[in-house]
Amino acid sequence: MTLFAALFAALYQFGDAFAFLVLAACGLAIIFGMMGVINLAHGEFIMCGAYVTVAAGRAGLPLPIAICVGALAAGAIGMVVERLVIRHLYDRPLDTIVATWGISLMATQGTLIVLGSTMPGLGTPLGSFEVAGGSYSAYRLVLMAAAIGVLAGLYLVFNHTRFGVVARATIQVPHMAAALGVDTGRVYALTFGIGAALAGLTGGLYAPTMTLVPTMGTTFIMEAFVTVVVGGSDVLLGTAPAALVLALVKATLTSWYGQLFGQIGLLVAVILVIRVLPRGLSGFILRERA
């Protein structure tokens, strides 16, 4: 293998790992980082997006529209869950763990009973391309672009729109926002819905690359949580840097020693970062800015 081929393969693998971590973690980062809700049903929102995307695709919708439908379905379900369950537990963070874990179990077992143990997928679109003798999936480039697009979209929404300002104000000082006439319940529901919709978007984007099973959310949940923990409480300042660091560790060890060592290295990196930076990367960045 030539040096160029090795460098391209390493860069491609890094980009693939970065996209996976960003897309898996963004929705969770909003719900946990901004709202303080430990959402153990995050993987099931991803599963919902994947199943709805495949169903919409098999009904004849183009893949991009089917992915949007999956994201909207997960977002709508997220808003219902927030209204019926999560809204009553905002001052009881430990109880949100139990509640969302129960929702996760019900969603997984309900999908298994209703739809069976597996669902035929759509197949990976766009084919492959060759670089220096190596073959690579073109759709993975779409996932990398989608990850960057999601980060840019979140930055614009939460920093340059009225909703973003109101959402951050509501979550940081809810009683003051309410005194100024903000419908805090609606803001909480929309914010939770955005987090769930991003999870559904992740499921829709990865649906063509995976076998759909009721437990597919577990493929994403561990790496989503470690990315959010390493990133810290700030969604924008934490998720992207954490994904960069963890993707570099994972891609390097995976290419050298295989997938098992990549996962082990990921967890070791998380332990080291949290030991040195207990508030995560975003806490360190904000401290340095101050």
Q: What is the pLDDT of residue 218?
A: 86
Ranges of residues in the chain whose predicted pLDDT is under 50:
none
Q: What is the pLDDT of residues 170-180, one digit of tens each?
A: 777 777 777 87
Q: What is the pLDDT of residue 286?
A: 63
Q: Does 55 fall in a domain?
A: yes
Give residue 121's domain range.
3-284
What is the SS3 assignment for 163? helix
Q: What is the pLDDT of residue 109?
A: 93
Q: How many domains does the chain have?
A: 1
CATH of the domain at 183: 1.10.3470
Q: Does 289 fall in a domain?
A: no
The pTM assigned to this predicted structure is 0.89
Q: Does 290 fall in a domain?
A: no
